[in-house]
Structures are given as C-alpha cells and as structure tokens.
Amino acid sequence: MKYVVNENCIGCGLCVNICPEVFTMADTGKSVAIESEVPVEHSEEAANAAHSCPVDAIEEA
C-alpha cells in the first residue's frame, strides 16, 4: 500500500509524529509520504496516521 498527502494538508505534523518512517515534513511545511510501498512492519502506524489526519489530507494511492 502507498499513501499520498493531498493539498488539504495544514502541516500539523501529526502523521510525522505517528509514523515518521512513512511521513516527513517537506521544505514547504507540508507533509509528504514516501514514494515507495509502505513497509509491512509500519503499515499499522501508517494507517493510524492517515485516519488521524484532522483534515483528511492522507489518501491511499
């Protein structure tokens, strides 16, 4: 599975705090997801981060 962070991102950093192996903060102040498949060992944290986003900016790709 992959994730994409859309234009709704407000840069709160919640996803990065929950799953830094998949989400990082870009120079723009917005979150970005890794481009590769989410490693199996981080799939639960990544899904939790996506569901925790306050503005629903994280989508499955």
CA triplet 19, 22, 26: central angle to 5 degrees?
Answer: 100
d(Cα 43, Cα 39) in Å, to the nearest integer? 6
Six token digits for residue 51: 């569901």
* Fold of the domain built from segment(s) 3-60: Alpha-Beta Plaits (3.30.70)
Q: Would you place residue 20 in the very low, low, confident or very high pLDDT band (cuts 50, 70, 90)?
A: very high
d(Cα 50, Cα 40) in Å, to the nearest integer? 15
Q: Would you place residue 4 in the very low, low, confident or very high pLDDT band (cuts 50, 70, 90)?
A: very high
What is the pTM for the complete model shown?
A: 0.94
Give the pLDDT confidence of 21-54 residue by residue, as tens digits. 999 999 999 999 999 999 999 999 999 999 999 9
